[in-house]
A and B are shown apart, each in its own frame.
Chain A
Amino acid sequence: MRIDVAHIARLSRIAMSEEERAHFEEQLARIVDYVDQLQEVDVTDVPPTAHAITRHNVFRADEPRASLTNEQALANAPDEARGYFKVPAIIEEA
């Protein structure tokens, strides 16, 4: 199985050099070949299991509670300004 690693890396938001791409392509192809054995299993009428231990939806009272302060929320931010997370400009100034 050939995998378009450039495409998958783009979807994954991971920058990648040509060399890395070739390296991952070979490894991922082997892994996908291995997991392809799932295709031989008869899963007719078998429902999917997303969670092994059955749980019903859990509700709680919709009441305001204390949360992180603005300062706490920003304490680990790589960049911040005026109480907001700061990112590179993505819209040109008018």
Chain B
Amino acid sequence: MLCYANAHELVRRMQAGELSAQEITRAVLERIDEVEGTVGAYVNLCPERALETAGAVDDARARGTDLPPLAGVPIAVKDVICMQGMPTTCSSRILENFRPPYDATVARRVIDGRMPVLGKANMDEFAMGSSTENSAFHITRNPWDTERIPGGSSGGSAAAVAAGEAILALGSDTGGSIRQPACLCGVVGLKPTYGRVSRYGLVAFASSLDQIGPITRSVRDCALLLGAISGHDPLDSTSLDEPVPDYAASLERPVSGMRIGVPAEYFTEGIDGDVRESVEAAIDQLVSLGAKRVDISLPHTKYAVATYYIVATAEASSNLARYDGVHYGYRSKSADQASDASAIIALYENTRAEGFGDEVKRRIMLGTYALSAGYYDAYYLRALRVRTLLRRDFDAAFEKVDCVACPVSPTPAFRIGEKMDDPLSMYLSDIYTISANLAGIPGISVPCGLTSQGLPVGLQLLGSPLGEEALLRLAYAFEQSTEHHTVRPELAGKGAA
């Protein structure tokens, strides 16, 4: 099926004149028509726009114009990335009718890269969540088992790629929101080094942790898409002014002699037996390819979740203060007759009460609490100090190893509704992914098997700052030496029982 082909194969076939960008886009749109009613990966679709881009690519190719590497490959964009004139909702009521007056830098790169944009992918509201159940509009189902969640917050992006509803997708990762859904949906997801990819036009959740990154079905596609979106951006002062390597070019370099750190703290209680077995087998596989296993310790790991939920919520409480019903977005209709300062306060309070979902309210309040008078030192400042310790754990590890190998998620995809009434247990499902955000380092999730119930498991590789090449090279060697990436979900389409 064309909708399940990899981007690099499609590019080759377009270049050879065997396929047009319009044929590919149409095939993916047909797949969307077939399974979207079941999966619910998108909040907004823009088929005309996608076909128009594809048509322009075909015309340009016919004229012999040089085209960017991923020209004509259809992509889903997480609805947290601003695209001019298209609704950008963050899956929130408060931004339901918001149409950004500008493009995010990454959106610009996608447009300049001539990738047909299929639509905006569903997510947990404001990227807060691990299951995509916090979307204000609808849930997204895991293509491997539609009674289960796809992970989150980039659940729509991962499910779209897993279901053949997109060839490529963009997600964002603040505490695992690319890697965890990629893992649970059996696809590849990479969170770049903080600053590798511009955040300009990415709706802010936690500005010191957020990064945009690729979700794809193969490591090579991941390398290509990462290359397309990376690089310095004067519009983002935290963007790194470092050259962007040709990530795809170094994929086939040998991995023999590379040192892989296995942290004891990531294989303790709470990890599912099948997950543990698959990840251990994946590490053994890397060793059989010539990599060297080194047992390491990341001693502050047990404090990562607590640190994260202070730092991320503090930043969120500040970032989300902008949703006030005045400049853009939803405004409460409940009128206040007072004509003094209380009227505007009531406008803010009602707008935010009606516009935000429960998880967003919880996090705003937790962050406000951590920053409030009397608690700042005990919570926020202390969390920033523990963050230093977590970062030092990785600094020390990378003195000895080239990358760290561990699980992505302690369990496979859980059932819809299972954790909705227990926010803390939902937070604990991020335990293996959040340290990378706190330390600013890159991480990739690559499929490494299925559980006995047929649910995908991912291997996570974490690298030193700007160590994406090493991660991709190891992930590629692993992928190419195993069959995990060739298995597709059995997803019943329209009309099926």
Contact = CB atoms under 8 A, between A and B. Distances in A.
Interface in A14-39: 14-16, 24, 27-28, 30-32, 34-39
A11 B372 contact: yes
B411 to A, nearest CB: 19
A31 B349 contact: no
Interface in A40-54: 41, 43, 46-53
A contact patch SS:
loop
B368 A8 contact: yes
Interface in B440-492: 440-441, 465
Contacts of A34: 305-306, 309, 424, 427
Contact of B382 (A9, A39, A51, A85): A39
Contacts of B365: 5, 8-9, 12, 14, 24, 28
B386 interface: yes
Given A48-B388, A50-B384, A90-B340, A55 B324 contact: no
A12 B356 CA distance: 12
A50 B208 CA distance: 7
Nearest to A5: B365
Interface residues of A, number: 50
A77 B327 contact: yes
Interface in B341-373: 341, 343-350, 352-353, 356, 361-362, 364-366, 368-369, 372
B329 A76 contact: yes
A55 B439 CA distance: 14
Given A48-B385, A89-B339, A78 B364 contact: no
Contacts of A49: 384-385, 387-388, 391, 438
Contacts of A76: 97-99, 101, 327-329
B382 A43 contact: yes
Listed residue (B234, B364, B385) with the most chain A CB atoms within 10 angstroms of its CB: B385
17 contacts: A9-B365, A12-B364, A12-B368, A13-B349, A24-B361, A43-B382, A43-B389, A48-B388, A49-B387, A51-B238, A52-B440, A53-B194, A53-B195, A53-B440, A88-B347, A90-B341, A90-B344
Cβ-closest 6 pairs across A and B: A52-B440, A48-B384, A76-B328, A78-B331, A15-B353, A43-B385
